Amino acid sequence: MLNYSRGALALQRVRGQGAARRQWRALGKSFLRPGVIVATAVFLAGCALGPDYQRPEMNLPEDWPDHVLLSAEEQRAWQDWWTRYQDAQLEALVGRALDDNLDIRLQVQRIQESRARLGLADASRLPTLDAQAEAARERQPAAATPIPGAGGTGNLFSIAGVLGYELDLWGRLARQREAAGALLDQSRFSHEAVRLNVVADVVATYVNLRSAQEQLAIAQRTLESRERTFELERIRHEDGETDALTLRQSASELETTRARVPPLRQQVRALESALAVLVGMGPGELLAELDFGDGRLADLELPDQVPAVLPSELLRRRPDIRAAEAGLMASTAEIGIAEADRLPRLNLMGLLGTAATDAGDLFTRPAETWGLGASVAGPLFDFGRGRARVETAEALRDQAETRYAITVTQAFREVRDALVLYQTTDERVGAVRRQVQAIEETRDLAQIRYEEGFTGFIELLDAERALLEAELALSQALRDRLNATATLFKVMGGGWEPDRSGSGIARALSDG
């Protein structure tokens, strides 16, 4: 871009100001009289270099495996799918996580950065208006000017406004704007993906915590029963009603049960800490005594249906897929930018100001100065730098396309695995419940037969041990069933509206 401030001042330093003005007018007329160059530039500005984005072809299945689906009306109820568990404590934790989670906050800040970059790309397509003021005192040597007696020492004051504009001949600025817009979309979709993951993690961690608390309660209840049994066997041994082997078996079972409690308590504390971090608790709150309520795992509702989302719809429903596609769009636009950088740029310049040797003469008619000009600059020999930049942009686009394909493939694998897990965990819950009921009946019968002397103590211990294991397995099965539901809705892209991706954040940022 031409530097007209120095040129204008140099012209004013020569006393033939009238001749300088005539030169500027002639230059301006040579550019503006036919208007051919400007018209050609405007026409070329609409021709952007580089490939236009096209979504890669993917071999998608026509439908999912058979499973229970919801109607379109019922799907809308799954927008806030975590409320279907009917647990007020869980809903409060999810609400706090959406407000205070640090990962979500970081994504919002990245949206702000992308929005600022888009604003810069938009501004780059508009003219620039600069103001400049200079004051100088210097000696002009007589030998350096063709006018006799023109040398001497003098002052020069000038104030001018300079208007500059780059005509986007090859669509470089348009491609920059396209890339910046795609990166903003990528930030929005990434925010939605992180938000969805945080919600799913909060639900899963909460369910795991409830399961660990329930297993700890089962172990403590069993430990109390073992303690009573050992005390009873000790009294019977002292009275000579039982032998030492039975007493040792009772003590062994007591200590085995006691050893189960510390790991379960440690698991509860670890899950409390994990949940505290997810919901955005600070270090002070984290180290304080945490209380996430005393609800039971069995109190959470088990949804019987999942939303119907066609495989082709998954590309729109999953925010991580949309983010990967937006990254591919940005990489495609970068190719056009790299190609346009290899070609000349046309910059137009206009100057309007005032210059005089006496500050009091500024802003008078004789002190007026103006100028029009244009410059064309571009690389001649860069020894392969431009070509290398284009090849780099093409390689990055290929990587983005591969990442998009990986993301889509991973998404369909996750959905398939989640559907299988959703079905099998439901079957497992029913089977383990029947198992617990059968073992309870066996234990009750063994207890009666032992008290009546028809069976030994070891048979009773076996029944009680089996019951403990079955109760713990039922708690784990319920946990896995609830987690499978959360996982399924996460991989299906539940919990956000794709047509309004990031709209709440976008409105908040635009309003700010």
Q: What digits encode the pLDDT tens for the residues 326-363?
A: 999 999 999 999 998 888 989 999 999 998 888 888 88
- Give the pLDDT of residue 150: 64
**Residue 459: inside a domain, yes or no?**
yes
Whole-number Å distance between alpha carbons of 323 and 319: 6
Mind spelling out the 3-state secondary structure of 39-63? HHHHHHHCCCCCCCCCCCCCCCCCC
SS3 374: strand
**Residue 351: inside a domain, yes or no?**
no
Mean pLDDT on 430-435: 89
**Residue 389: inside a domain, yes or no?**
yes
Whole-model pTM above 0.85?
no
Q: Give the dihedral of Cα atoms 266, 268, 269, 275; nearest 10 deg.
A: 140
CA-wise closest residue to 56 among 445, 431, 408? 408
Q: Output 484 or 65, whichever has higher pLDDT.
A: 484
pLDDT band at 396 (very low <50, low <70, confident <90, very high): very high
Report which secondary-structure segment, H or E, holds 477: helix 457-491
Domain coverage including residue 92: 35-139+157-343+378-511
Whole-number Å distance between alpha carbons of 456 and 458: 5
Least confident interval from 80-89, 126-135, 163-172, 449-458: 449-458
Q: Output 152 or 412, whichever has higher pLDDT.
A: 412
Q: What digits encode the pLDDT tens for the residues 188-247?
A: 888 888 888 898 899 899 888 888 888 898 888 888 888 888 888 888 788 777 778 878
Least confident interval from 16-30, 69-83, 128-142, 489-503: 16-30
- Give the pLDDT of residue 280: 85
**173, amino acid identity:** L
Mean pLDDT on 283-311: 66
Instruction: Name the domain count of the chain.
Output: 1
**Residue 474: inside a domain, yes or no?**
yes
Question: For the CA atoms of the chain, what is the radius of gyration?
Answer: 39
Report the range out of 22-26, 134-138, 150-154, 461-465 with the highest average pLDDT: 134-138
Domain containing 408 — which CATH number? 1.20.1600.10
CA atoms lying within 13 Å on the CB side of residue 213: 17
Q: What are the C-alpha distances in Å from 235 to residues 195, 240, 242, 448, 507?
A: 60, 9, 9, 19, 74
**Residue 72: inside a domain, yes or no?**
yes
Q: Which two tokens stand for residue 352?
A: 């309007």
**Residue 499: inside a domain, yes or no?**
yes
Whole-number Å distance between alpha carbons of 104 and 22: 62
Mean pLDDT on 21-35: 42
Whether the CB-CB separation of 5 and 349 falls below 8 Å is answered with no
CA geometry: angle 273, 274, 279, nearest 5 deg: 95
**Residue 15: inside a domain, yes or no?**
no
**Residue 360: inside a domain, yes or no?**
no
Whether the CB-CB separation of 486 and 207 falls below 8 Å is answered with yes
**382, amino acid identity:** D
Percent of the chain with pLDDT over 90: 12
Bridge partners, 347 (sequence order): 166, 375
Question: Which residue in this structure is represented by tokens 């000017």?
Answer: 145
